[in-house]
Structure 1
Amino acid sequence: MRSTARYKIKIRYWILELKLPLAMTLVHIMLLMFMCLKDKGSHYLPVFWILLFTMWTGCLLARLCHGSQNLVAWVLILLTVGGVMQVMLMGEDAADGFRLCRKFAAAFVLSAAGVTAFYKMSWYKKEHAVAGMACLSLMIFGIMFLFGSDVGDGAVVNLKVGTRSFQVLELLKVLYIFVMAGLLGKEQLKDKQVMGLKRPWAAFIFTVLNIGFLALLGELGTALLIAALGGGMFLAGGRLHITRKRAVAAAVVSVLAMVILALLVWKAPSGIFLKIYNRLYYFLYPEKDASGLGLQYIQIRRALAVGGMLGPESTRYLFHISEENTDLVFAKLVQTCGMLMGLFVITSYLLMLREGFGITLNGPDSYYRMIAAGIILLIAIQGIVHIGCNICFIPITGIPLPFISHGGVNLTVNLVLSGILMVISGGRMEGRWVHEL
């Protein structure tokens, strides 16, 4: 009788341990059947296997690291939605499915290597690593100024190597988070200066340099993203003490800056100001250039209307949207699958962010809490800005939707950051970094 009871206990234990991967496997099988009904089964099948492998491996790694299972679940759900959307946007060539499969496999391998390096190595925690990563960021800017390629609207965001293009600027987001965490998150070194500057001032100057170089490259969306991320990390690090005088001064400076910018944009639009002018003007009046600069805003409105709640009744109502697999992937998602799917994606992001903020509050120490805060703020800001652009709430900025938009480097970076967040949630580095500074 005792052996039978132990056997039943073991079965219950394994069922509880495997409930997440088993549930996710069932979801994957249902999605495969759905794609077969859409005549995309042959395209989705290789992606199905790589996503299934990624899901089981991710759950295993979360178990080994004692990390957050909920975080892994929501990341995998969003990653699966992204895979389904990319397959839905494919042509009739079955080889496209294998190419997408290779992209997911490469992103998974690189992200696993990055997370392993974060977990096993300690060089990034040392003081000289902060200066090294800051210099690497500046080197990437220099490379982009010299060898970057224009994507057509004046923004230099890609680096061509042979026949392939890489979104190198995505790496700057990771470097920025680690540099800011090194400057603001090490409580033991808060009084130690960096190049004769107090650490908050060094972080502020590094942020301004990033924003300035991105603006010179024409990448205004990423510049605004870094500005918002930097402000959030200053608040998270407790280095931005808001008093009444400082709030009034900040409000006055902000109003003056907005007035000056408005005068430059509306009275003398040229160069970067012309780009800002076009973004704002055709956001407000897209019908003024319905076949040009205002086209995307008109397409977004039509896509949201066509999608309805459950998607169109027939594929003949679907139409092509420019940048539908990157900058406007959420609008395409709603057009194809309906507003309910869009609400499901938004809910998944909110639940993932809730889990991420919980990890931030319960981090093992201030340094890791700062890294976790930077990661979750980056994902949150990208999601809010992208969805806001795709429902015509704010002008289009070119910010991708994490885990869903097309782009190998962007996907790899988001997987690496979510893996680091999972490792931090396990608290396995507690007490180690203090002795390795």
Structure 2
Amino acid sequence: MARASVPAFIAREPWGVILPLTALVLFGAAVLYSAAGGNLWPWSLLHVVRFGVFLTMAFVISRFSMDFIKAIAVPVYVLLVLLLMAVEAMGFVGGGSQRWLNLGFMTLQPSELMKPGIVLILARLYDLLPGGHVQNFKSLLPPAFLIGLPVGLVLLQPDLGTSLAIMFGAVVVMFLAGLPMAWFVTVGVAGMAAIPALFFFALHPYQQKRVLTFLDPESDPLGAGYHITQSQIAIGSGGFFGKGFGNGTQSHLNYLPEPHTDFVFATMAEEWGMAGGFFVIFVFGLLLRWGLKVAIGAPDRFSRLLAAGMTATIFFYTAVNLMMVMGLAPVVGIPLPFMSHGGSSMMTIMICVGLIMAVNRWSQRRVSNFD
């Protein structure tokens, strides 16, 4: 009876995901508040405000029609490529990398937006490509160009982590589009065989050091291995229930590097322990399960690839960051969604969420039409 009194356009929204995400953002704001020494500024308050703005943006995106999303796929891709070129021409350097454009009212990292952008353009490509042509070897040329151009521009910045994220989303879309498994196996085997050459000739010296540090962080605990070592100390010292809110030492005494961005999970784990970690992983599990459910129930090829690709992008962000802070992957500078401070990354993730919401709405409309 109470449900009937709720307007239909409100009742249809996926509140079972939105409310836990909001709780996760507020939890992240509490962690950022502690990391700033008990201050709302400069991270915690801005974190919540950004989420409010980008959640509104996600609701707006969810109202877009499928025809409109299809129509903007190519223009959005071209715009993002031009922005990546602008970064190379006039972007400013931070932390040794040239990744950002100063727009005055905000600092934009175009490579972040290319993560959902590559999924969108490939979903549109395979929507237009007849099913029988997918297994034709010549059909690899268009996606290879669409992927190679932005990845090459991102590698020039240099930003290996973001380029891997772009490729991951692209590969997931291509796999689900029906490309032969033999092609993926062949590329995988060739990639494994090329690892030594890529390590010595394609990676920058600092990137090589990150890989070696990942393999043996204790070899240089005060140098290249410092990040991973301090992160593991922070996570391990939290125990099951943590040291208590505001009582972390690794972040407050500046032992833990980047406690508000890349290593925010370690900051959280020290004060909230394994219990806090379980909560974070549980909410991400809800989000990813919902994304996969929407993709499976999508009404057509385009929306199915779009929802699955956006879900894969969120998964990559989450999995790589968590593995990185635990020492299970090299440090690649990927933030943790909904907890790390950063406008471009949160905007990217909320674009992904908004597009999954749009696919969910298209599916609901199709069901209601049949009814």
Given candidates 99, 109, 131, the residue that maps to 1:167 is 109
Work out which structure has the larger RCO, using CA pairs closer than 8 Å and 6 or more positions apart in sequence.
Answer: 2
How far apart, in 2, do the equivalents of 1:102 and 1:262 lie? 39
What are the equivalent positions in structure 2 for 1:90-239 lying under 5 Å apart?
A: 90-93=36-39, 96=41, 100-113=44-57, 115-117=59-61, 119-120=63-64, 122-126=67-71, 129-152=72-95, 154-162=96-104, 165-186=107-128, 200-238=140-178
Give the partner amino acid of 1:325: H
Q: Larger Rg: 1 or 2?
A: 1
Q: Show the counterpart of 2:305.
A: 370
Q: 1:392 to 1:103 in 2, by over 3 A?
A: closer
Given candidates 167, 175, 180, the residue that maps to 1:241 is 180
Q: 1:107 to 1:192 in 2, by over 3 A?
A: farther
How far apart, in 2, do the equivalents of 1:392 and 1:61 lie? 46
How far apart, in 1, do the equivalents of 2:355 and 2:118 lie? 15
Q: Show the counterpart of 2:282.
A: 347
- 1:303 maps to 2:240: no
Structure 1: any 5+ residue segments left out of the alignment?
1-9, 18-59, 266-271, 432-437
Q: Deviations over 1:98-142 (max 9, x none)?
A: x7445533443354245425524543313xx44322321220111
Contact 2:248 2:267 in 1 (8 A): no
For residue 400 of structure 1, give the secondary structure of its aligned residue in structure 2.
Answer: coil
How far apart, in 1, do the equivalents of 2:191 and 2:15 lie? 42
Q: Show the counterpart of 1:63.
A: 10
Q: State TM-score, norm by structure 2.
A: 0.85
How far apart, in 2, do the equivalents of 1:228 and 1:155 lie? 22
| CA-CA distance at 1:374 after TM superposition | 1.2
Overall identity of the aligned pairs, in % = 23
For residue 150 of structure 1, give the secondary structure of its aligned residue in structure 2.
Answer: strand
Give the partner amino acid of 2:233: R
Q: 1:167 to 1:71 in 2, by over 3 A?
A: same
Give the partner amino acid of 1:63: I
Contact 1:363 1:369 in 2 (8 A): yes
Q: 1:395 to 1:150 in 2, by over 3 A?
A: same
Q: 1:352 to 1:313 in 2, by over 3 A?
A: closer
Number of matched pairs:
359
| CA-CA distance at 1:209 after TM superposition | 1.8
Structure 2: any 5+ residue segments left out of the alignment?
none
How far apart, in 2, do the equivalents of 1:111 and 1:313 lie? 30
| CA-CA distance at 1:294 after TM superposition | 1.7
Q: Show the counterpart of 1:86.
A: 32
Q: 1:76 to 1:13 in 2, by over 3 A?
A: same
How far apart, in 2, do the equivalents of 1:68 and 1:315 lie? 33
Q: Deviations over 1:322-346 (max 9, x none)?
A: 1111111111111111012112211
How far apart, in 1, do the equivalents of 2:145 and 2:196 lie? 24
How far apart, in 2, do the equivalents of 1:157 and 1:333 lie? 27
Q: Show the counterpart of 2:325.
A: 390
Q: Show the counterpart of 1:258.
A: 195
For residue 63 of structure 2, give the secondary structure of its aligned residue in structure 1.
Answer: helix
